[in-house]
Amino acid sequence: MAEDAPPHPAHVADWEDLLVRLEIAPRALRVTLEDAPAGDPEVRALVARAAAGERAFQRAMEAMQAGAPLPDAAPRPEEEEGDARSLAEAFSSLRMRTFAMAQRRGVDVWAWQAADAEGRTLTVYQLFTRMVREDARLLAALRERVRAPGGAAC
């Protein structure tokens, strides 16, 4: 689930802050990739994992909107095709779709939730919190790779 995130934000400002973080992640990814070594398989693997995760987040969001159970399918980075930059574009496209689903409905989206196979409930706020945390992990790993021997300098 979303580690230790509460089911709903304490204040509208917390929700707005989370939405800003969700929206800027694709841009931060593109900027970080500008410094990444072209064709680096580790960079590609990191971005493929992010794109696969974003597909899973999108499916979870769709399930919540429909009031359906969360899908069982785990992210499968090995099925993602393309280089790091095209994978980043796929990530961005999925993120913007998820963002738009929430943005259009304002705070009404706070009521969306779905249960997994074990009966644990996940809310949109918890999902978005997990997404932001995954973004931070991705960007940190990419920046570390850029600083690694053979990588570009920051």
Q: What domains appear along the chain, each with residue ranges and CATH number?
A: 12-147 (1.20.120.450)
CB atoms within 10 A of CB 69: 12
Burial of residue 38 (CB within 10 Å: 0-12, 13-18, 19+) is: exposed
Residue 110 has pLDDT above 60, yes or no: yes
The reported pLDDT for the residue numbered 153 is 45
pLDDT higher than threshold 90 for residue 77: no
Average pLDDT, the chain: 90
96 contacts 22 by C-beta, under 8 angstroms? no
